[in-house]
Chain A
Amino acid sequence: QQQVKQSPQSLIVQKGGIPIINCAYENTAFDYFPWYQQFPGKGPALLIAIRPDVSEKKEGRFTISFNKSAKQFSLHIMDSQPGDSATYFCAASDRGSRLTFGEGTQLTVNP
């Protein structure tokens, strides 16, 4: 019940495309849903996060869509750039405790 399922495992888009990464969870006690970006050899860095009382949050080119009834949330990257090529992890936590991560999506944005 603590799992967060993420898909797809990998994604290739052309520059300017809109990659979409999806996550699903079971634990209804989760109340914080961040997305992390990780470049090779680096630690995960927070990209954007959402709480379940809103259905969408946008920061720059990154948007989280949240569907509480379906227990799903997704990351959209508008106007993707080659510099966005990285591994993206969704995560969830319950009352600020441990982060439970998804399996990760390796995104490649071709020039």
Chain B
Amino acid sequence: EPEVTQTPSHQVTQMGQEVILRCVPISNHLYFYWYRQILGQKVEFLVSFYNNEISEKSEIFDDQFSVERPDGSNFTLKIRSTKLEDSAMYFCASSALGTFSDTQYFGPGTRLTVL
């Protein structure tokens, strides 16, 4: 069964450093998402991406964050200058159509720890 994959599974970085989290969505999907989950809290939407541009973003997704689809398979989330409060589990998701009732499939996540 096709699945969303994410690398690395765990990333440790120093505050102020840049990190890039990588995702390979399901191959025929067109809509891509990033969510984050701070330990013990709910999953929060960050950004959605379609047709090589951001379609929606939350208030969390400020100028420190950017997304890119550098090639036909990868989808990346970059945090330019990490803060302690960026420590969280980051999930990539993809969906085929992006319409209501369309399933968003989640990857296993990248645990980001900012020291």
Cα A43 to Cα B5 with chains together (Å): 10
Count class of interface residues, chain A: 20 to 34
Within 8 A of A (CB), among B47-67: 48, 55-56, 58
Cβ of A74: which chain B residues have Cβ within 8 Å of it? none
B101 contact set on A, CB distance < 8 A: 32, 49, 51, 96
If A43-B4, A43-B109, A49-B103 touch, whether A96 touches B42 (CB-CB below 8 Å) is: no
- Whether A93 and B100, one on each chain, are in contact in the complex, defined by CB atoms closer than 8 angstroms, is yes
| CB atoms of B105 and A46 under 8 A apart | yes
Task: Confirm or deny: A103 has a beta carbon within 8 angstroms of a beta carbon on chain B.
Answer: yes
Chain B neighbourhood of A89, CB < 8 A: 42-43
A46: B residues at CB distance < 8 A: 103-105
A37 to chain B, nearest CB (A): 11
Classify chain B: how many residues form its interface, as a range.
20 to 34
Complex contact B100–A31 (CB within 8 A): yes
B75 is an interface residue with CB less than 8 A from chain A: no
A residues in contact with B108, CB < 8 Å:
41-43
Distance, CA A36 to CA B104, complexed state (A): 10
Q: Are B103 and A98 within 8 A (Cβ)?
A: no
Question: Please, could you name 11 A-B residue pairs with CB atoms under 8 Å apart, sorted by A?
Answer: A36-B43, A44-B91, A51-B100, A94-B100, A95-B100, A96-B101, A97-B48, A98-B33, A99-B33, A100-B45, A104-B42
Q: Which residues of B contact A (CB under 8 A)?
A: 4, 33, 35, 41-45, 48, 55-56, 58, 91, 93, 95, 97-109
State the 8 A-B residue pairs at the shortest beta-carbon distance, nearest first.
Answer: A43-B106, A98-B45, A96-B99, A101-B43, A96-B100, A32-B100, A101-B42, A103-B42
Q: A44-B106, A49-B101, A102-B42 are in contact. List 7 more A-B contacts (CB 8 A).
A: A32-B101, A43-B107, A49-B103, A51-B100, A96-B99, A99-B43, A103-B41
